[in-house]
Amino acid sequence: MQRRVTFDNRLLPYLLLAPQVAVTLVFFIWPAAQAVWQSVHLQDAFGIRSEFVWFENFEHVLTDPNYLDTLKVTVVFSVAVTVLSMGTALLLAVLADSKIKGARAYKTLLIWPYALAPAVAAVLWMFIFNPDIGSFGLALKSLGYDWDYRLNGGQALWMVIMAASWKQVAYNFIFFLAGLQAIPRSVMEAAAIDGAGPVRRFWTITFPLLSPTTFFLLVVDMVYAFFETFGTIHALTQGGPGKATETLIFRVYHDGVVNNDLGGSSAQSVILMVIVIALTAVQFRFIERKVHYA
Amino acid sequence: MLTRRKLALLTGAATTTALLLAALPGSALAQGKTVIDFWHGLPQPLGGQLEQVVKEFNDSQQAVQVNASYKGAYPETMQAAIAAFRAGNAPHVVQMFEVGTATMMAAGPAIKPVYQLMQETGAAFDANAYIPAVKGYYSSKDGKMMALPFNSSSTIMFYNKDAFQKAGLDPNKPPATWPEMIEATKKLKASGSTCPMTTSWPVWAQFEQLGAIHNTPFASQANGFGGLNAELKIDAPLYVKHVQTLIDMQKEGLFKYGGRDNKPDALFPSGECAMIHGSSGLRSRILKEATFAWGAAPLPYWPDFAKDGPKNSIIGGAAFWVMTSPKRTPAEYKAVSQFFSYLAKPEVDSKWHMDTGYVPVTMKGFELTKAQGYYEKNPGADVPAAQLTRTPTTENSMGLRLGNLPEIRNIIQEELEKAFQGQQDAKQALDSAVKRGNAVLRNFERANKG
């Protein structure tokens, strides 16, 4: 007797899959195909004249020395945001997981920033750091420190990294805390009885058991740093001064929407797509080996 | 069974469609009015004042109803209009900032030139009523008006009379030339000012206006009026000297770079900077916020580069463009022309000028304002209009007709910022800006040729 579940209706599986397929086609495949189509065309702003130019747009982008600078900025920015937001979140989660008074209020406060829109968060940071009206900016200046992120590229980059990380800490915190709470107390207690100190307990038990969470957050944070920090940068520095805070995604927006260069902008988004696919593949191929799924 | 259900569905759909079709234009037809969509890019409080002008037009007659809506800042309004056109749904009229002029003109079938609109609809319209510097900016190579100028401004200098007094400078004699400017900033610094001078709109004020008043090209082909093959000329000695002066002044604490576009505006009314080069439209804000005595003056010039005195300055601000759409009817164009004729009236022009600080765009509007004694009561309010009309326009002071000028402005600002950070000198910054800017121009030329 066969006990396998089978569908009598040959159509049903397709029907059940159809919504997902439709959503993927409409919201992912179609725009991606449009981007690829645009990237090999040269078009005026109004779309009246269009010319097929092969890979010229890619050539322009890749031979532009400024594009390489932007790539460097993006790497520095993404790595800094990922490391900073994950490190801070892990530290805070470990602290919040220990038994302290008012832990619940403390946790709630830490989750709050995630509910803020990136642009709103950026405006808050601007009110803190603006050299003319910001409280922290004015304080720095009164201490004699030459604080002006409108002219100092290093300061500007540091500021957008802080603002972007601050927003992501809350998200990472939730996952780390959940991961920590899933670790059985008995294991930790046994280790403590065996004489392992807190640091050793963390690195030999807690951290390995957290590795699935850490890996998941690594991928999510990287995608966040690449794609979702646009609002923060736009509101704070607009990519300036010079091009000190211009990331790849910001440049895609700027060339496409502000400069009306649809071909160049599409070529950049295709490149960006390839970069992120490659990075994600690398993460799953190599870093995932170190992940221990309990 | 199935067929009956289908039939019911079809009937239902048909009824709904019919109802929708009847309801949509119904509201307008019931009143017998032609409805015109008008998109603008002015934030509050100026946007509200513009909507008030539209309301006054709507109240002035029975035939046309203009619906004004704010679509975000100028660049966003431009994007919205372009996207709407691509979707076959462009508004009748869109307000477009002056740097978008070349893009709009190159749009060909997407726009209907104002001279053509007025001819076709037989509306009374005199393009020569406009101030030459305003008319020139929005006219084609052969002098035909392409867009309706409305809110125009120019760059002037505002200065803090109290700070001048404190520094031992004559508060009624603002510096007229750059050497005098530098002297004044030194005295201001000596008297304790942390920011003797700043500039809003770095590219508009320190490049485009500089070229116009010194009769020096910003770009070849008469600043782009002559054709799409124009090339930037801002590596000329005038610009190098000027930018190097600003860099040196910044190092000595005589000049402060306050950011891109109009970001530095706040530095003057707050009292931090003693002098600012900015839009004449800044006036209303200073009136509201400044707690010190202040004055307005024309932009300073370099005597070595303007042997026979400075020429007229150019404008900024925005103009109204008529857009086309597959469904548009002659009646709608007629309605647009009525709206435009109303806006061109001297009373409307003059009132808008006095309410907002933009310059009067017609000679009659300027004279009407004068006749009302407005300038006696508000000394300095006539500086921008006087500066715009002080000489006949030359090839270099007519305005700019460069494709993707917003992008070129950003490139120049980026190179300036690198120079102010000490990464490069004026010559390097300008060479690099020319190189990058020309690439943008070539791209525009290619995408818009033929």
Q: What are the extents of the domains in chain B?
A: 34-153+315-377, 155-312+403-448
Q: Is the pLDDT of residue A7 over 80?
A: no
Q: Is the pLDDT of residue A90 over 90?
A: yes
Q: Is the pLDDT of residue A182 over 50?
A: yes
Write the pLDDT tens digit of every residue in B285-304: 898 899 999 999 999 999 99
Q: Is the pLDDT of residue B16 over 60?
A: no
Mean pLDDT, range A194-211, rounded to an integer: 89
Among the partner-chain residues A49, A60, A242, the one whose CB lies closest to the CB of B414 is A242
Flag whether residue B12 sits within 8 Å of chain A, measured between CB atoms: no
Q: Say if pTM beats, i.e. exceeds, 0.95.
A: no
- What are the distances in angstroms from CA A85 to CA A161, A171, A172, B159? 10, 9, 7, 46
Write the pLDDT tens digit of every residue in B341-351: 999 999 999 99
Contact B108 A48 (CB under 8 A): yes
What confidence score (pLDDT) does residue A294 get?
Answer: 59
Q: How far apart are CA A39 and CA A56, in angstroms?
A: 9
Q: Is the pLDDT of residue B47 over 60?
A: yes
Mean pLDDT, range A101-128, rounded to an integer: 83
- The number of beta carbons lying within 10 Å of the beta carbon of residue A240 is 23
Share of chain A above pLDDT 70, in %: 98
Among the partner-chain residues A42, A46, A48, the one whose CB lies closest to the CB of B446 is A42
Write the pLDDT tens digit of every residue in B170-203: 999 999 999 999 999 999 999 999 999 999 999 9
Among the partner-chain residues A46, A60, A238, the one whose CB lies closest to the CB of B85 is A46
What confidence score (pLDDT) does residue A258 get?
Answer: 80
Size of interface A-B (CB pairs under 8 A): 83
B34-153+315-377 and B155-312+403-448 have identical folds: yes
- Of B82, B74, B69, the C-alpha closest to B41 is B74
Q: Which residues of B touch A260 (CB under 8 A)?
A: 82, 103, 404, 407
Measure in Å the smallest separation between the Cα of B415 and chain A Cα atoms: 6
Contact B106 A47 (CB under 8 A): no
What confidence score (pLDDT) does residue A58 get?
Answer: 92
- Superfamily for domain range B34-153+315-377: Periplasmic binding protein-like II (3.40.190.10)
Q: Is the pLDDT of residue A178 over 50?
A: yes
- What are the distances in angstroms from CA B181 to CA B60, B215, B219, B270, B379? 49, 20, 27, 21, 22
Write the pLDDT tens digit of every residue in B349-364: 999 999 888 999 999 9
Helix, strand, or coil (residue B141): coil
Write the pLDDT tens digit of every residue in B245-282: 999 999 999 999 988 888 899 899 999 999 999 999 88
Contact A66 B436 (CB under 8 A): yes
Q: Is the ipTM value over 0.85, yes or no?
A: no
Give the pLDDT band of residue A66 (cuts 50, 70, 90): confident
Structure tokens at B186: 């030194």
Q: Which residues of B touch A60 (CB under 8 A)?
A: 439, 443
Q: Is the pLDDT of residue A133 over 90?
A: no
What confidence score (pLDDT) does residue B2 get?
Answer: 44
Q: Is the pLDDT of residue A118 over 80?
A: no
Q: Which residues of B touch A259 (CB under 8 A)?
A: 404, 406-407, 410, 440
Q: Which residues pair with B316 in a beta bridge?
A: B153
Helix B405-420 to helix B237-251 angle, to the nearest 10 degrees? 40
Give the pLDDT band of residue B409 (cuts 50, 70, 90): very high
Q: How far apart are CA A152 and CA B205, in angstroms?
A: 23
Mean of per-residue pLDDT scores for chain B: 89
CATH topology of domain B155-312+403-448: D-Maltodextrin-Binding Protein; domain 2 (3.40.190)
- Which residues in A have their CB inside 8 Å of a CB on B? 42-49, 51, 60, 66, 132-133, 150-153, 238, 240-243, 254, 257-261, 264
Q: What are phi and psi of B335, to 5 degrees?
A: -65, -40
Minimum mean pLDDT range among A56-60, B18-22, B240-244, B444-448 = B18-22
The residue of chain A with its CA nearest to that of B81 is: A46
Q: Is the pLDDT of residue B158 over 50?
A: yes
C-alpha triplet B198, B201, B206: angle, nearest 5°: 70
- Are B242 and B299 in contact, with CB atoms under 8 Å apart? no
Among the partner-chain residues B108, B267, B417, the one whose CB lies closest to the CB of A240 is B417
Write the pLDDT tens digit of every residue in B194-245: 999 999 999 999 999 999 999 999 999 999 998 899 999 999 999 999 999 9
Give the pLDDT band of residue B30 (cuts 50, 70, 90): very low
Which of B342 and A100 is assigned the larger pLDDT?
B342
Residue whose tokens read 């003797």: B196
Q: Is the pLDDT of residue A87 over 90?
A: yes
Note the Cα A217 to chain centre separation in Å. 10
What confidence score (pLDDT) does residue B14 get?
Answer: 53
Give the pLDDT band of residue B6 (cuts 50, 70, 90): low
Following DSSP, what letter does each residue of B335-365 receive, concatenated?
Answer: HHHHHHHHHTSHHHHHHHHHHH-PBPSBHHH
Q: Is the pLDDT of residue A72 over 90?
A: yes
- Where do the domains of chain A lie, and which CATH numbers do they carry? 54-290 (1.10.3720.10)
Write the pLDDT tens digit of every residue in B64-119: 999 999 998 888 899 899 989 988 999 999 999 998 898 898 888 899 999 999 99
What confidence score (pLDDT) does residue A169 get?
Answer: 92
